[in-house]
Amino acid sequence: MIAPSILSADFARLGEEANAVAGADWLHVDVMDAHFVPNLTLGLPVVQALRKATDIPLDCHLMIDDPDRWAIGYAEAGAYNVTVHVEAARDPIKIAKDLRAAGAKAGLSVKPGTPLEPYLDVLKHYDTLLVMSVEPGFGGQSFMSEVLDKVRTARRLVDTGHLTLVVEIDGGINDDTIEQAADAGVDCFVAGSAVYGAKDPAEAVRKLRAKAAR
């Protein structure tokens, strides 16, 4: 699956930009609060508006403090998947239950320096694992291939039936890096600058998909 990140889109034309990637599987929406990460982007009102503007399932990536309080609003707004950061969550199992009860898939994200091992039981409650391959906060950074060890671990746990989740990667994915991520076992690839920095975003999605499938 390919999930273009609208962080690299033209925010003045978000509806059009969403529909410029019509073949995409998910539309990745980066919510940042200037506390959990240094950057500030968008929040619930924009997600509510986007939900009406496109049929592409919304993949909300919450880079915010106190997701225990705020995540459910994104599920109630109709997001398909809502991902919180394990580093910010107080009770990640409760968050997953709340998200699922509100009708969304529940996602858990780990920053590049955060190990998976302490969270293997928590991940049993989740539908998505988002492995960050850059420090969260900004688009256009370079891919950190060292996180692929976590992808391989997650892939193995899914393939052996210990976890049931989509393995997603976020940060620095482009034509040059997507193949190594695919080889490591990623199911869903977030791409911001590689899609919205291209002249034809829909064509960029098709190219990424073809490379990942090789």
In the shown chain, the binding pattern of residues 52 to 71 toward ligand DX5, with x for contact by CB under 6 A and - for none, equals ---------x----------
Q: Which of 77, 86, 167, 173 binds ligand DX5 (CB under 6 A)?
A: 173
- Interaction partner, residue 157 (ligand DX5, Zn ion, none; CB < 5-8 Å by kind): none
Q: Check 30, 33, 98, 187 and give the catalytic one.
A: 30
Question: What is the C-alpha to C-alpha distance for residues 120 and 162, in angstroms, rounded to an integer?
Answer: 9
How far are the Cα atoms of 69, 126, 131, 162, 164 from residue 121, in angstroms, in the given order? 22, 10, 17, 10, 12
- Could you say which DSSP state residue 141 is in? P
61 binds Zn ion (CB under 5 A): yes
- Cβ(110)–Cβ(119) below 8 Å: yes
Structure-token pair, residue 63: 């880079």
Question: What does the alpha-carbon distance between residue 67 and residue 135 come to, in Å, rounded to a whole number?
Answer: 18
Q: Which is nearer to Zn ion, 30 or 98 (CB)?
A: 30
Which long-range contacts link 199-204 to residues 24+ away (Cβ below 8 Å)? Answer: 201/4, 201/17, 201/20, 201/21, 202/20, 202/21, 202/22, 202/23
Question: Is residue 33 within the footprint of Zn ion (CB under 5 A)?
Answer: no
- Give CA–CA dist 148/189, Å, rounded: 13
When CB distances are held under 5 to 8 angstroms depending on the partner's kind, the choice from ligand DX5, Zn ion, none that residue 201 binds is none
Dihedral-angle region of residue 140 (phi above 0 means left; psi in -120 to 50 means alpha; beta otherwise): left
Q: Does 33 participate in catalysis according to the annotation?
A: no
Q: Which residue number, 5 or 81, has a Cβ lying nearer to ligand DX5?
A: 5
Query: Least CB distance from residue 141 to ligand DX5, whole Å?
Result: 6
Cα torsion angle, 25, 81, 11, 13, sign: positive
149 among known catalytic residues: no
- Give me the residue whose beta carbon is nearest to ligand DX5: 192
Q: Which of residues 90-149 bind Zn ion (CB under 5 A)?
A: none
- Minimum CB separation of residue 132 from Zn ion in Å reads 8
For Zn ion, the binding residue among 67, 170, 178, 196 (CB under 5 A) is 170
Residue numbers at the binding site for ligand DX5 (CB under 6 A): 5, 7-8, 28, 30, 61, 134, 136-141, 170-173, 190-194
- Catalytic positions are 30, 170
